[in-house]
Amino acid sequence: MKFLGYRRPDGSVGIRNHTLIVPNGRAAANLGVLISRIVAGTKIFVATNENGRDPADRATLARTLRGLAMNPNVGAVLVVGLSRNGSHEEFSEKNFLEPIVATGKPVDTVFMDECGGFDAAFALGVRKARGLLIAASRARRSEAELGDLSVSVKCGYSDTTSGMAGNPVVGKAFDRIVAAGGNAYFAETTEVIGAEHLVAARFTDSGERAKFLAAVARVENEARQLGQDIRSINPIPANIAAGLTTLEEKSLGAVSKSGTSPVRSCLLYGERPRQRGLHFMDSWMSSSVIFLGFAAAGSVLNIFQVGGGSFGKGYMMPVFNAGVVAPVLFMTGNPHTWEKVRDDMDFSAASVLENHASIHDVSGKLLEHICNVASGELTRGETFGMDETVEVFLKGHCF
């Protein structure tokens, strides 16, 4: 199975061709936003302020911004800042700019202290952004293999159909992408509790397995410190109303979206993997958090596999561009959800339950749709000209 993608100088393959403006710190965000408003067709993501954060959170912020710039869906990058080395070591030229330049894609910079202040930086930034946009537009799609893809999945508003149809269909598709040499990502540390032993058994490296189990234990301990037992407060009311009764039951359905392939690594939020294959990312459950982290890690397409909840009632959650540079593909295995909001959905796996279609056959259809989107077909969310408020997964304290 093949698709038409943008092959980058570092060998990665994108499915979109964005020009991204990246501030090397929150203080330069206004400069980047103004440039992006003037230069039509550019994108920007503004993260929370790194000042007053602990080193781990500063590293997460820098890793996320840097990772977005390195994503294969980005064809050109303009880095803007107060100075070339930012305000912290995590945003220094060596740690932030050089890895972006190393991708080989067109990269340029604008730093206020090098060009005489904000006004001069703004004028120079507009000129450079326009040049980068034109350079990126010269890229052409070419034929790529299934194994060139890097895709990710989050499930949401889980119900009984999630574990019976939607998630297993994604999992089977992931198995085929990974077998072809591609990357696949799944996440949600809270959503594996009760089934963590099954996921842990699939890790190929004992050190990565230990990191995964430590992440699960951390989430449970944090809940206990707040006087909560996460196994009794999750599933959420929407899950219970949809037929799920325990966290273990919910987790068994949730982990099925990862398929059956060996798990290569347990990634930090926004961390890029060191080898191809299936990867778990330590993250919170929010879609606006997870999709951003996936994109920073290199995913070119986010899949949102939903059950019932608000979707079954006839309205859709606005996570249109939560991946910033990586589109979101909405799908469901729930026939009622598909019937009520099909204009907002990209793919249905409901035939598994309605017509007794095999998970293997429906996963093949999903792969065909993924390849169509990878070749340029828009997702439903991409047709809306709005960006959701997106958050970075931070765990530390502000000082």
Does CATH number 3.40.50 belong to domain 18-138?
A: yes
DSSP-derived letter for residue 166 is I
In DSSP notation, 274-324 reads SSSSEEEE---S-HHHHHHHHHHHT-SEEEEEE-STHHHHT-----TTTTT
**Confidence check: pLDDT of 145 > 90:** yes
**Structure tokens of 225?**
């410190």
Of 53 and 252, the one with more pLDDT: 53
SS3 of residue 145 by DSSP? strand
Q: Report the candidate in 266, 321, 271, 259 with the shortest Cα–Cα distance to residue 296.
A: 271
Query: Given the DSSP bridges, would you call strands 301-306 and 150-156 parallel, antiparallel or unpaired?
Result: parallel
Q: What is the pLDDT of residue 12?
A: 98
Q: Note the pLDDT tens digit of each residue in 277-336.
A: 999 999 977 777 999 999 999 999 999 999 886 565 665 555 668 889 999 999 999 999
Confidence of residue 264 (pLDDT cuts 50, 70, 90): very high
SS3 of residue 184 by DSSP? strand
CA distance from start to end of the chain: 51
Amino acid identity, position 24: N
Confidence of residue 22 (pLDDT cuts 50, 70, 90): very high
Q: Note the pLDDT tens digit of each residue in 67-76.
A: 999 999 999 9
For the chain, what is the largest distance between any 2 Cα atoms, rounded to a whole number of angstroms? Answer: 67
How far apart CA 85 and CA 101 sit, in angstroms, is: 15
How far apart CA 311 and CA 173 sit, in angstroms, is: 23
Q: Which residues sit opposite 144 in a β-bridge?
A: 3
Amino acid identity, position 199: V
**Structure tokens of 367?**
């792969």
Confidence of residue 240 (pLDDT cuts 50, 70, 90): low
How far apart CA 382 and CA 183 sit, in angstroms, is: 23
Q: Which residue has the tokens 């910079």?
A: 109
Residue 125 Rama label (left phi>0; alpha psi -120 to 50; beta): alpha
In DSSP notation, 32-68 reads HHHHHHHSTTEEE--PPP-TTB-HHHHHHHHHHHHHH
pTM value is: 0.92
SS3 of residue 55 by DSSP? helix
Inter-residue contact 280 to 174 (CB < 8 Å): no
SS3 of residue 192 by DSSP? coil
How far apart CA 376 and CA 81 sit, in angstroms, is: 33
